[in-house]
């Protein structure tokens, strides 16, 4: 495979990733967006905690993960880069902005027009995120509940244009719907469904129909709140993975936890208690998947190794 994956510690041959979690966080901190104090922590202690979690993830057999926190939501680039330098796990950082259903849209995203927002994403990918020289390897965008607001549409269009300019992958957040509408916007900007990772699939009233609709269109999807019991038990995810793999879509599906070492300030999203077990899929879910379903090792390898490698490669 040509191209490269852009990690917080530099560009990497995609073949070097190994098993990869496609949608995770190190921190989520809504203080900036909600006018609250940011998470009160000892920075050195937090870095040590994060490194410990990454060491546990590596011991569980994983080589890489994404850090999907966008601008203004606890994206502490210098902290993440320190963790990446000290960690055996490769970490991919994100540019982008979140939606406005749960909190005010970031003032930068609101203020910039489409061209300027595109330029911001391109600069963060090619030069550095924020005031650092650490470059993003992923564009994270999101839509809210029941509609795509004008500012969210602008962010999605800017992401598509930045993708076309740089080859950087796009990953999206779903709140409760709008997946097909996201793909429509990307298509209008010349980005195909197969170039996009749709996250948080599996929460529609008919989760199977939602997943099938995206997979038939060619999108890459992630079932990425596995183990996060406040949402769904493992049986929900086992059923979904078994269904889509049985129908030949293992090459478009990925798995993750949506974990964070620390979460602060937005109870509607995840409460104040972070789900911080990055090893749950390896320790608990995969053994159950192997024992309780006909999903094959080849399909598991596709979901954890081949598909993340493909979608995270700059193209």
User: Phi and psi (nearest 5°) for 170?
Assistant: -115, 135
Helix runs in 139-206, H state only: 150-166, 179-188
Beta-carbon neighbour count of residue 176 at 10 Å? 14
**Quick check: 237 and 254 in contact, CB under 8 A?**
no
Predicted confidence band of residue 176 (pLDDT cuts 50, 70, 90): confident
Q: What is the pLDDT of residues 206-253, one digit of tens each?
A: 999 999 999 999 999 999 999 988 789 999 999 999 999 999 999 999
For residue 38, pLDDT beyond 80: no
The whole-number average pLDDT for the span 303-315 is: 97
Structure tokens that stand for 222 in this block? 């992630």
Predicted confidence band of residue 268 (pLDDT cuts 50, 70, 90): low
Cα 174 → chain centroid? 11
Helix (H, G, I), strand (E, B) or coil at 170: strand
Residues 6+ apart with CB under 8 A from 118: 158, 161, 162, 165
Residues 6+ apart with CB under 8 A from 306: 251
pLDDT score of 275: 82
For residue 291, pLDDT beyond 90: yes
- Residues 307, 299: Cα–Cα separation, whole Å: 10
pTM confidence score? 0.95
The whole-number average pLDDT for the span 271-298 is: 91
- Residues 86, 104: Cα–Cα separation, whole Å: 34
Please return the burial class of 184, using the count of CB atoms within 10 Å of its CB with bins 0-12, 13-18 and 19+: middle
48-82: buried (b, 16+ CB within 10 Å) or exposed (e) per residue?
ebbbebbebbbeeebbbbbbbbbbbbbbbbebbbb
Helix (H, G, I), strand (E, B) or coil at 1: coil
- Residues 80, 67: Cα–Cα separation, whole Å: 9
The rounded mean pLDDT for the chain is 93
Helix (H, G, I), strand (E, B) or coil at 85: helix
Q: What is the pLDDT of residues 117-163, one digit of tens each?
A: 999 999 999 999 999 999 999 999 999 888 999 999 999 999 999 99
pLDDT score of 1: 41
**Quick check: 72 and 116 in contact, CB under 8 A?**
no
For residue 269, pLDDT beyond 60: no
- Domains of the chain (ranges; CATH) run 10-311 (3.20.20.140)
E strands along the chain, which residues?
5-7, 10-12, 20-21, 27-29, 64-66, 90-92, 94-96, 138-142, 170-173, 196-198, 220-223, 253-255, 262-264
Terminal-residue alpha carbon distance, the chain: 10
The number of C-alpha atoms within 13 Å of 240 and in the hemisphere containing its C-beta is 29
Closest CA to 65 of 124, 126, 137, 143: 137
């Amino acid at each position: 495979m040509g191209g490269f994956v852009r990690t917080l510690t530099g560009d990497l041959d995609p073949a070097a990733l190994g098993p990869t979690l496609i949608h995770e966080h190190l921190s989520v901190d809504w203080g900036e967006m909600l006018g609250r104090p940011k998470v009160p922590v000892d920075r050195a202690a937090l870095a040590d905690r994060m490194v410990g979690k990454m060491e546990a993830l590596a011991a569980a057999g994983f080589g890489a993960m994404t850090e999907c926190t966008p601008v203004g939501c606890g994206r502490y680039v210098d902290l993440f880069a320190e963790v990446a330098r000290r960690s055996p796990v490769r970490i991919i950082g994100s540019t982008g902005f979140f939606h406005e259903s749960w909190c005010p849209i970031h003032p930068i995203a609101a203020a910039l027009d489409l061209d300027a927002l595109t330029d911001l994403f391109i600069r963060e990918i090619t030069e550095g995120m924020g005031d650092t020289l650490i470059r993003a390897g992923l564009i994270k965008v999101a839509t809210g509940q029941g509609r795509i607001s004008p500012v969210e549409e602008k962010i999605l269009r800017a992401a598509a244009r930045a993708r076309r300019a740089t080859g950087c992958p796009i990953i999206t957040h779903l709140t409760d719907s709008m997946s097909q509408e996201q793909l429509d916007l990307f298509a209008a900007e010349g980005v195909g469904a197969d170039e996009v990772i749709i996250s948080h699939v599996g929460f529609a009233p008919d989760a199977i129909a939602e997943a099938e609709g995206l997979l038939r269109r060619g999108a890459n999807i992630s079932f990425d709140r596995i183990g996060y019991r406040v949402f769904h038990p493992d049986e929900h995810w086992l059923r979904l993975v078994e269904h889509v793999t049985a129908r030949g879509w293992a090459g478009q599906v990925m798995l993750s936890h949506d974990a964070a070492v620390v979460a602060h300030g937005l109870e509607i999203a995840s409460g104040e208690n972070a789900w911080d077990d990055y090893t749950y899929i390896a320790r608990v879910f995969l053994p159950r998947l192997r024992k309780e379903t006909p999903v094959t090792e080849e399909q598991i390898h596709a979901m954890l190794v081949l598909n993340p490698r493909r979608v995270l490669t700059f193209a």
